[in-house]
Amino acid sequence: MIGKGLSAAGWFWLSLLGLFLFTAGPLLVTLTAGLIAAALGCQLNESAVHACPLLGVDFGGVLTFFGMFAWLTFMTIPFGAMGFLVWLGFAAVLLIRRLRRSEPA
């Protein structure tokens, strides 16, 4: 099971990873589609679907669909930035609580 026995700090870093994947995910999908199209020697742009055959199957429509995911970054980057600020606030609170707890009495 994923996360079994994970400490609080582990969950904290895992949440930062999830936030990064949410924010950069559409851009990573678009870059991957571009790399696949380049490897297959196909043209990939937003204006039209171009034929991109692989083993007799045309992947042009799928690659164009995934190539358009870059437009989602207009939504995910601002939400990711707000989420990062919230994450940073939680990190500051937890750090302050830990420092206060570790001070000698």
Q: DSSP readout, 6-74?
A: --HHHHHHHHHHHHHHHHHHHHHHHHHHHHHHHHHT----SS-----EETTEE-HHHHHHHHGGGGGHH
Bridge partners (DSSP) listed for residue 58:
53
The answer to whether residue 43 is domain-embedded is: yes
Closest CA to 67 of 53, 49, 80, 51: 49
The answer to whether residue 104 is domain-embedded is: no
The answer to whether residue 92 is domain-embedded is: yes
In Å, the largest CA–CA distance within the chain is 74
Distance (Å, whole) CA 75 – CA 49: 24
Cβ neighbours of residue 87 under 8 Å, at least 6 residues apart? Answer: 15, 16, 19
pTM over the 0.85 mark: no
The answer to whether residue 54 is domain-embedded is: yes
The answer to whether residue 80 is domain-embedded is: yes
pLDDT tier at 105, thresholds 50, 70, 90: low
pLDDT, tens digit (0-9, with 9 covering 90-100), for 39-91 = 988 988 888 888 888 888 888 888 889 889 889 999 999 999 999 999 999 88
Work out how many domains the chain is built from and give that number: 1
The answer to whether residue 2 is domain-embedded is: no
Q: 62: domain range?
A: 16-99
Distance (Å, whole) CA 37 – CA 57: 14
